[in-house]
Amino acid sequence: MEKAEEKFNILIVDDVSTNLKYLGSILSENERYEIEFATSGAEALGWVEEKDFDLILLDVMMPEMDGFEVCRRLKQDERTREIPVIFLTARTETESLVRSFEAGGVDYVTKPFNPLELSARVRTHLTLKAAQNHRQNLIKELETALREVKRLSGLLPICSYCKKIRDDDGYWQQVEMYVRDHSEAEFSHGICPECARKMFPEYLEEDS
């Protein structure tokens, strides 16, 4: 069975409807992109409350709330600060571009838009975001594993005679069963020299 391709949610924010249509037509050629649109900063902030996005394309010059302010608010919110933001701008002077990065943007695309450049930048940052998500998932798995190890390394009630271990539910289990149920370890049974001398002395005498 083939694994389904990963989908990416993209939010495009621009107060000019023709820009939204043009950008949407470029990115919609990729079937893995699910695209939403916003015509203002307030609408964009509303969208991120409703849906998780992998990337935001954000126009700089908008009325009431410009792109820099929208980006700053996104970065102040723990839920949205990791969403990469690519600024859309007609301004190419150094000061404006520096402000884009200071506000928290990861990149910018200048107007008029070049379809190949736009697609390449979007693809690059989605790849980086996917890698970051994968890394965060691995960290969570590691943290879970470490918590389990710490739990195992705590005080374990063990019988002084039969050496069984009492589990969290109050049942007594053989050591190998307890470890098997609480770790990835597997057992290979053998016999140590001391037990061999106790259990099979006649065989050891013959060998000597």
Q: Per-residue pLDDT tens for 185-207?
A: 666 667 777 776 776 676 655 55
Look at residues 111, 116, 119, 115 and name the one whose alpha carbon lies nearest to residue 33. Answer: 119
pLDDT at 121 over 80: yes
Classify 108 as helix, strand or coil. Answer: strand
User: What letter does residue 103 receive in the DSSP assignment?
Assistant: T
148 lies in a domain?
A: no
Domain end position, chosen among 91, 109, 139: 139
Q: Which of 33-37, 55-59, 74-78, 178-182 has the lowest mean pLDDT?
A: 178-182
State whether 186 and 88 are in the same domain. no
pLDDT tens sequence across 21-65: 999 999 999 999 999 999 999 999 999 999 999 999 999 999 999
In total, how many domains does the chain have? 2
The mean pLDDT value for 154-182 works out to: 74
146 lies in a domain?
A: no
Classify 125 as helix, strand or coil. Answer: helix
**Alpha-carbon span 19 to 8, nearest angstrom:** 21
Neighbouring C-beta atoms of residue 156, cutoff 10 Å: 12
| Residue 41 buriedness (CB in 10 A; 0-12 / 13-18 / 19+) | buried
Q: What is the pTM of this model?
A: 0.68
Domain end position, chosen among 85, 109, 139: 139
What residues make up the domain containing 103?
A: 8-139
149 lies in a domain?
A: no
112 or 150: whose pLDDT is higher? Answer: 112
State whether 160 and 74 are in the same domain. no
Contact 75, 81 (CB under 8 A): yes
pLDDT given at position 2: 47
User: What letter does residue 104 receive in the DSSP assignment?
Assistant: T
State whether 125 and 161 are in the same domain. no
- C-alpha separations of 149 from 98, 135, 181 in Å: 46, 21, 13
State whether 130 and 173 are in the same domain. no
Token representation of residue 172: 């007594």
pLDDT given at position 1: 44
State whether 36 and 104 are in the same domain. yes
pLDDT given at position 37: 98
In terms of DSSP H, where are the helices of 38-114?
Answer: 41-50, 67-76, 94-102
16 lies in a domain?
A: yes
Rounded to the nearest angstrom, the gap between the alpha carbon of residue 205 and the centroid of all alpha carbons in its chain is 62
pLDDT tens sequence across 147-166: 776 666 666 677 877 777 77
State whether 179 and 83 are in the same domain. no
State whether 177 and 89 are in the same domain. no
3 lies in a domain?
A: no
pLDDT given at position 174: 79
Between CA 51 and CA 61, with CA 55 as vertex, the angle to 5 degrees is: 100
State whether 83 and 171 are in the same domain. no
